[in-house]
Amino acid sequence: QITLKESGPTLVKPTQTLTLTCTFSGFSLSTSGVGVVWIRQPPGKALEWLALIYWDDDKRYSPSLKSRLTITKDTSKNQVVLTMTNLDPVDTATYYCAHLTTGATWIDYWGQGTLVTVSS
Amino acid sequence: QSVLTQPPSASGTPGQRVTISCSGSSSNIGSNYVYWYHQLPGTAPKLLIYRNNQRPSGVPDRFSGSKSGTSASLAISGLRSEDEADYYCAAWDDSLSGPVFGGGTKLTVL
């Protein structure tokens, strides 16, 4: 059974750096074809892809946020970490991590999400 | 502004058939599979349709997906009150090298 859970601060001040951790079980990030993706959703708005990382350490970033994002994995701990710099109130959103596969079902299992509020 | 275009709302009465459209371009829907997710308030999205028209186990056959060119659609037949949710389409985008999503459609069961 695949599960993912996001953790990190719920409140961040403008200009600060946000670090979110996705801890997962039920799969390994050393398995060919597997990845983890970060997606966010501002309150009442649509989903927005942020970054993804594959089993082979291939990393992709949303072009609009690339300069502010870093994604890394720790295969031994079953964790993926997303770092976002220079936070702004418009970054207030629920942040989700999800299991991604190059197989049929693609982005198929999602974490419960964590709400991050950017405010002074 | 989302890369994929969906109507912001849709509605129907119990038992009816409702369709939700999703429009993209050659770099996403036109050359890759389409996926559909539904999201109940306060919960994470859940995979509803994969690879254009395939249902994960547990998804009723009332839900069906189709794709033609750079557009796709989700059809829900025999509408039920529990179908009231937000629905999102998604696809890989070759130009962005990442997933893109629609703006979401809020389905109301009248």
User: For the segment B30-48, what is each residue's pLDDT rounded down to a tens digit?
Assistant: 999 999 999 999 999 999 9
> What is the percentage of chain A residues whose pLDDT exceeds 90?
95
Per-residue pLDDT at A111 exceeds 80:
yes
Could you report the per-residue pLDDT of A20-45, keeping only the tens digit for each? Answer: 999 999 999 999 999 999 999 999 99
**Chain B residues with CB inside 8 Å of A111's CB?**
44
What DSSP assignment string belongs to A22-79? Answer: EEEESS-TTSTTEEEEEEEE-TTS--EEEEEEETT--EEE-TTTGGGEEEEEEGGGTE
Residues of chain B with pLDDT > 90: what percent?
98
Mean pLDDT, rounded, of chain A:
96
Is B26 in the A-facing interface, judged by CB distances under 8 Å?
no
Which residues in chain B are contacts of A113 at CB distance < 8 A?
A: 44
Residues of chain B positioned with their CB less than 8 A from the CB of A112: 43-44
Query: pLDDT category, B3, cuts 50, 70, 90?
Result: very high
Q: What is the pLDDT of residues A55-89, one digit of tens each?
A: 999 999 999 999 999 999 999 999 999 999 999 99
> CB B104 to CB A37 under 8 A?
no
- Digit-coded pLDDT (tens) for B50-76: 999 999 999 999 999 999 999 999 999
Q: Chain B residues with CB inside 8 Å of A52's CB?
A: 98-99
Cβ pair B40, B33 in contact under 8 A: no
With a pLDDT cut of 70, the percent of chain A lying above it is: 100
Backbone conformation region of residue A32, classed left if phi is above 0, alpha if psi is from -120 to 50, else beta: beta
Q: Are B38 and B87 in contact, with CB atoms under 8 Å apart?
A: yes
Residues A48, B96: C-beta atoms closer than 8 Å? no
- Could you tell me if B50 lies within 8 Å of chain A, comparing CB atoms? yes
At A103 the pLDDT is 81
User: How far is A53 from A37, CA to CA, in rounded Å?
Assistant: 7
Predicted confidence band of residue A104 (pLDDT cuts 50, 70, 90): confident
Closest CA to A105 of B87, B37, B74, B28: B37
B99 touches chain A (CB under 8 A): yes
pLDDT band for A95, please (50, 70, 90 cuts): very high
Give me the pLDDT at residue A105, please. Answer: 75
Alpha-carbon gap, residue B98 to B87, rounded angstroms: 20
Confidence band, pLDDT 50/70/90 cuts, at residue B1: confident
Q: Which of B35, B43, B98 sits opposite A106 (nearest CB)?
A: B35
